[in-house]
Chain A
Amino acid sequence: MKSWDPHIEEMPKSELHQMQYKLLKNLVNQLYSFSPFYHNRMKEQKVHPDDIRELSDVIKLPFMFKRDLRDSYPDKIFMASQEELVRYHVSSGTTGKPTVVGYTQNDLNNWTTSLARALTSVGLGRGDVMQVSYGYGLFTGGLGLHYGAEKIGATVIPTSVGNTERQIELMQDLRATAIACTPSYLLHMGEVAEKMGVSIKKDTKLRVGILGAEPWTERMRIRMEDWLGIKAYDIYGTSELSGPMFTECSEQKGFHVWSDLALVEIVDPKSGEQLEPGERGELTVTILQKEAMPMIRFRIGDITQLNDEVCGCGRAHPRVERIQGRVDDMLIIRGINVFPSQVEYALMAIPGVGQHFQIVVDRKGALDDMLVRVELNKESMSDKITDLMLVRETVEHKLRNALNVNVNVELVETGSLPRFEGKAKRVIDKRSL
């Protein structure tokens, strides 16, 4: 086993648990004393730091939900002063306001360390050339992998997203050995490469794919590994946890969650009760060493299960299995999280169309395609096709701005979309992975 931090990565389980308990205890004490948000939450839950006497007492602590982050926009739960903050990232919220994550220098360092360990665990290092084809900017995928790869001394090509043909040329010409992107984008690249007469398997040096930000399957892994001649590793993380943080190791059997950085639980999404390893439920994470924006028992909304056995690679850090679904109606389109409520919210601000809508998600070639059907309004009716096309383009533009994802819009007749009483079913997802 090749490790970035041998001391921590090779620690036996009992020591890991000891360390986690110390970190948790320390975190709870800190937050109870200094964070009004967590102080109130713990009071409501009638739990005092003194009640945390062993690691399993974590179940006494209150949960935190995505809506809590939204309600505290932009920075009410931050625990760091402006001088200590060195970075903000922003991800989609459920409605108009996004979720904001702040970082201190230590937060960035821990995030980068987490990825340095992860990338090392799949055999990457100095001498590798990594193409980072995740979006750079406010999305955590690009800069996260960028810093991680730079840390381990790989050559980073910060291609970001888009312009697939150029990406393939650069992959070939700059001899990339690894790529970080969404699995569907890599499949798309494979297809585009073939059209260009390039075989990724034969004509490039690519050997590793770090693939995530959307769910994928073993079937896709087998296809990518055979077809593209690479080893494909799943990567996991959300911006609330800092960003992408955990990958599978060379065993490819679940993501190692570094015990010194995070404490994972699986809970019953309805009752909130903690479930046993092997039982399927909602992933809940406590980040143990986060300064700017601490996270205790954050309910991520992803459905999976835990594997607490020592891995074939020798690491005792627990593993989280592939994500198998969501507890809410969140969609992932080309790696970007989209909530139907965001679409609703955006449409309310557009006078030219009605507020009923339907989302149709499909996979065109390898890539997700999102269509939103909206009803044309009386006010925007015109006899001229060009006017109507402008209405459609305006809606497309505004939705793209709200969702950060490309959307096709179809204008339909007033009253033609289904109306719902009770729970609306506005999403038709035709994708099969």
Chain B
Amino acid sequence: MFWDKKNETLKGEKLEALQLKRLKQTIRQSQKVEFYKKRLAENNIRPEDIKTLDDIQKIPFTRKQDLRDGYPFGFLAVPLKKVVRIHTTSGTTGKPTVVGYTRKDLDTWADLIARNMTMVGITDDDVFQNMVNYGMFTGGLGFHYGAEKIGMTVIPSATGNTKRQIETMKDFGVTTIHCTPSYAMHLSEVAEEMHVSLDSLKTGIFGAESWSETMRKSLENRLEITAYDSYGLSELFGPGVAFECPERNGLHIWHDVFLVEIINPQTGEQLGDGERGELVVTPLVKEAMPLLRYRIGDITMKIEDDCVCKRGQKIARITGRSDDMLVIRGINVFPSQIEHVLLKIPEVGNQFMVYVDRVNHLDEMTVDVEINRGYFSGELADLTRIQKKVVKELGDALDLRTTVKLVEPGSLPRFEGKAKRVIDQRGDKI
């Protein structure tokens, strides 16, 4: 099934012609952004110098840091009046990255989600429970609008309260769910404990964190569903950028909307099909916030271009990061954010260690911090208060619940040169 057959199956010269046309528009649109105007001028590039798709390599990359430096509205190419939505995403330190949307952008985004869901056979007869955060996180509202566009029944249950989520699924005959894969594992276990079988469930859409084929098998067996990988990021609207078709060997990325490059993260050179590298995307139809050659940091590759479903070239499932970003329960965390938070809390030191593990299928993050000598009063209650404060501050900054362990001053490792403060024990644990 197709939502937009013509654009979804566009290939070869026709596709390239459309991409080139849209790339030129995007570059023109980008010139309304001071940053890009300067960027291109500094590199002696005039918009009209981009004559072929290959010419894109003349343009420098855009990095997450650039977006952060543009906070709050530095990357908007339209007046605020035309912006109908703002989302933010965590930056590497204090300030978030702001993403703006025009009404047309919201429409494009909802269409992408509708394409993805239709591709795996979801229709307006389906009942959809959306179990990710709403609000500033794009996963919630993104899928919500897409599912609504298809005409499904949407249950915006957001996160938390697993038992009630399961009761809702059962009571309303939910056929389709969207959540992080680890939450789905947790859900299946709680359902088993409750002796609830979720007979109506057919399809699981899982994203926001990377997951393995073992996990897929396990989820499909436990929940008796077909599980699909969903990929996206706020800077490129949100979820909906790439998605698996029923073949489930790679993700279709929408080439009429995104110009895809895979580069060597060290040299920045373009890599060929089948070569693993960093994903770089130039969105082709973004109005409010055009981006040129955005370095996403995720590691993948382009795979052969002959899917039986007739859609375009796929990328492989994400296998890692080119930086130290962690994904905990679907939320991006940079160790630098933790450092930034601890600097503001006088009761504890600035040294820290992060332990990430998977307990009962859910990611758990423990942060060890040293208590500062001057703040130990001998009262248990004071230690509890300090611990709670650190938990709260980290929670506010990372949008994530963490466990904080107070340790004795001087007991954490000190690093000369590159610090290795993260110990990720998740491995292949399901």
Contacts and interface: CB of A to CB of B under 8 A. Distances in A.
Note whether A and B contact each other (Cβ less than 8 A): yes
Interface of A: 73-75, 82-83, 85-90, 98, 100, 102, 105, 126-127, 129, 136-138, 142-143, 146, 150, 153-160, 163, 165-166, 170, 173-175, 401, 404
Nearest to B152: A86
A173 B151 contact: no
B135 A159 contact: yes
**10 closest A-B pairs (Cβ-Cβ)?**
A160-B135, A137-B158, A136-B134, A173-B72, A85-B153, A74-B171, A88-B155, A401-B161, A155-B83, A157-B86
B84 interface: yes
Contact of A158 (B135, B157, B164, B172): B135
23 contacts: A75-B172, A82-B127, A86-B153, A87-B148, A87-B153, A129-B80, A136-B158, A137-B158, A138-B155, A142-B134, A146-B141, A155-B100, A156-B86, A157-B85, A157-B136, A158-B85, A158-B135, A160-B136, A163-B396, A174-B72, A175-B80, A401-B160, A401-B161
Given A127-B80, A158-B141, 15 more contacts: A74-B171, A88-B154, A89-B156, A98-B164, A105-B151, A127-B81, A129-B80, A137-B156, A143-B144, A146-B141, A156-B84, A157-B86, A163-B395, A174-B73, A401-B161
Interface string B220-263: 00000000000000000000000000000000000000000000
B403 to A, nearest CB: 13
Contact of A86 (B85, B154, B157, B161): B154
Interface residues of B, number: 44
B323 interface: no
Contact of B164 (A142, A146, A173, A401): A401
B135 A142 contact: yes
B46 interface: no
B163 interface: yes
Given A83-B125, A89-B156, A155 B71 contact: no
A90 B156 CA distance: 9
A137 B72 contact: no
Contacts of A88: 153-155, 172
B153 A158 contact: no
A153 B72 contact: no
Contact of A160 (B134, B144, B157, B172): B134
Contacts of B80: 127, 129, 155, 175
A249 to B, nearest CB: 24
B134 A137 contact: yes
Contact of B86 (A75, A137, A153, A174): A174
B399 interface: yes
Given A74-B172, A174-B72, A156 B85 contact: yes
B98 interface: yes
B85 A137 contact: no
B274 to A, nearest CB: 40
Contacts of A100: 171-172
B168 interface: yes
A137 B127 contact: no
Interface of B: 71-73, 80-81, 83-88, 96, 98, 100, 124-125, 127, 133-136, 140-141, 144, 148, 151-158, 160-161, 163-164, 168, 171-173, 395-396, 399
Contacts of A163: 395-396, 399
Contacts of B72: 173-174
A138 B141 CA distance: 13
A165 B392 CA distance: 11
A142 B134 CA distance: 9
Nearest to A161: B135
A158 B135 CA distance: 5
Contacts of B152: 86
Nearest to A397: B161
Contacts of B148: 86-87
Nearest to B79: A127
Nearest to B87: A158
A90 B160 CA distance: 14
A401 B87 CA distance: 28
A73 B171 contact: yes
Given A156-B86, A157-B86, A143 B156 contact: yes
Contacts of B100: 155
Nearest to B94: A169
Contacts of B83: 155
Contact of B151 (A86, A127, A174): A86
- Which one of A90, A129, A137, A401 has the highest number of Cβ atoms from chain B below 10 Å of its Cβ? A137
Contacts of A83: 124-125, 151
B134 A154 contact: no
A98 B155 CA distance: 14
Contacts of A404: 161
Nearest to B106: A150
Contacts of A105: 151
A157 B84 CA distance: 9
Given A85-B153, A129-B80, A150-B85, A174 B98 contact: yes
A138 B153 contact: no
Contacts of B171: 73-74, 100
B53 to A, nearest CB: 34
Given A82-B125, A82-B127, A155-B80, A136 B88 contact: no
A86 to B, nearest CB: 6
A90 B151 CA distance: 19
Nearest to B73: A174
Nearest to B155: A88
Of A155, A165, A404, which is in contact with the most chain B CB atoms at under 10 Å from its CB? Answer: A155
Contacts of B155: 87-88, 138
Contacts of B163: 401
A343 B86 CA distance: 38
B299 to A, nearest CB: 30
A188 to B, nearest CB: 14
Contacts of A142: 134-135
B81 to A, nearest CB: 5
B84 A154 contact: yes
B135 A153 contact: no
A115 to B, nearest CB: 15
Contacts of A126: 81
Contacts of B136: 157-160
B172 A170 contact: no
Contacts of A166: 96, 396
A105 B150 CA distance: 12
Nearest to A164: B396
Contacts of B133: 160
Nearest to A176: B86
B84 A90 contact: no
A100 B171 CA distance: 11
B157 A138 contact: yes
Contact of B85 (A127, A138, A155, A160): A155
A85 B151 CA distance: 8
A156 B288 CA distance: 14
A73 B170 CA distance: 12
Nearest to B151: A86
A92 B168 CA distance: 13
* Most chain A CB atoms below 10 A, which of B96, B141, B156: B156
A173 B134 CA distance: 21
A105 B149 CA distance: 10
Contacts of B160: 401
A153 B154 CA distance: 24
